Amino acid sequence: MLLDINNITRYFGGLCALEGVSFGVESGSVHGLIGPNGAGKTTLINILSGITSATSGNLRLDDQRIETFPAHKVAALGVARTFQNIRLFPVLTSLENVIAGQHLVAPRPLLPRLMCLSGTRRQEAVYQKQSMDILVRVGLGDRADFPAQHLSYGERRRLEIARALASRPRLLLLDEPVAGMRREEMLGVAALIRSLVREGMTILLIEHNMAFVMDLCSQITVLNFGSVITTGSPAEVGMHPEVIEAYLGKSDHHA
């Protein structure tokens, strides 16, 4: 178990956004997190990445307790994420966005730069090549010099994934990675996710597109009104009566 979510509860004032949420994310798997709007999916991802804190409960990443960690410390342990409402650096170019995402893995010390040491330029070239490779991998190789704000919606989503990949995470949290994408773009992202998992990355993704989720995920957790309905394989989850009820409403047997 790479990530162990244990009894996470989060209140916003009197509103209970999450209540006793527990499930585990297997190392090297694609784990789906689904549920109707307002079920608490994004709140959970925010807690996992340290952007907000849980009211109670604990989180373990490889047996290390991380629920009290601020976001940058969680990231340092190899957790990267994307955001549902895309949060790129709008005036920076695509390449610069990825370069900024390299913060944890590509140290660019100031002192050698001030002294114009010869190694700096070579090192920078290596880093830039790595960033460029990631851009090419998400299909944005020809957009390297475009400011992020001038990209199309689907391109911005892919650039956010690229920026997250730049930190070489173990666990990647994707919040609606294919929302608003065309079908071909979506298939591209699905292929990307598969190849990342083949390389040993673990992925937890929120997505409303059921075909996408059912196709990619080995495990799915269903949230409704802040509680876990069930966790299981796509087939199990699809048959679960409470899941069907949450999505389609209650069937009226007396009719």
Partner 1 sequence: MAQLSYFFSVYGSLVNFIGINALLALSLYVTLSAGQLSLGNAAFAGIGGYTAGILTTRFGVPYMMSLLAGALVAALVGFLLGMPVLRLRGVFLAMATLSFGEVVRIAAVNLKITGGAEGLMGMPTHTKTWFIYLMIIGVCYFLAKLRYSSVGWSFESIREDETAASAMGINTTYYKTLAFTIGAFIAGLAGAMYAHLNYIITPGEFGFSAAVNLLIYCIVGGSRVWYGPVLGAALLTALPEILRGIGVTAGPIRMFVNGLILLIVILFLPNGLVSLFQHRKTADASVLACVGIGEE
* Contacting residues toward partner 1, per CB under 8 A: 49-51, 70-72, 75-76, 80-81, 83, 87-92, 96, 99-104, 106-110, 113-114, 124, 147, 149-150, 163-164, 166-167
Between 102 and 219, CB nearer to partner 1: 102
Contact predicate 151/92, CB 8 Å: no
> Based on CB atoms, which residue is closest to partner 1, 164 or 186?
164
Nearest to 176 by CA among 39, 30, 41, 26: 41
For partner 1, the closer CB: 71 or 244: 71
In the complex, least distance from residue 71 CB atom to partner 1, rounded to whole angstroms: 4
List CB contacts of 4: < 8 A, sequence separation 6 or more.
24, 25, 59, 60, 61
What's the closest the beta carbon of residue 114 comes to partner 1, in angstroms? 5
Identify any residues that bridge with 32 across adjacent strands, giving them in sequence order.
Answer: 205, 220
Nearest distance, CB of residue 132 and partner 1, angstroms = 16
At closest approach, how far in Å is the CB of 141 from partner 1?
Answer: 19
Q: How far is the CB of 226 from partner 1 (least distance, A)?
A: 22
Q: At closest approach, how far in Å is the CB of 234 from partner 1?
A: 28
Q: For residues 41 and 81, which CB has a smaller minimum distance to partner 1 in the complex?
A: 81
Q: Do the beta carbons of residue 217 and residue 234 sit within 8 Å?
A: yes
Closer residue to partner 1 (CB): 161 or 190: 161
Q: Which is nearer to partner 1, 4 or 124 (CB)?
A: 124
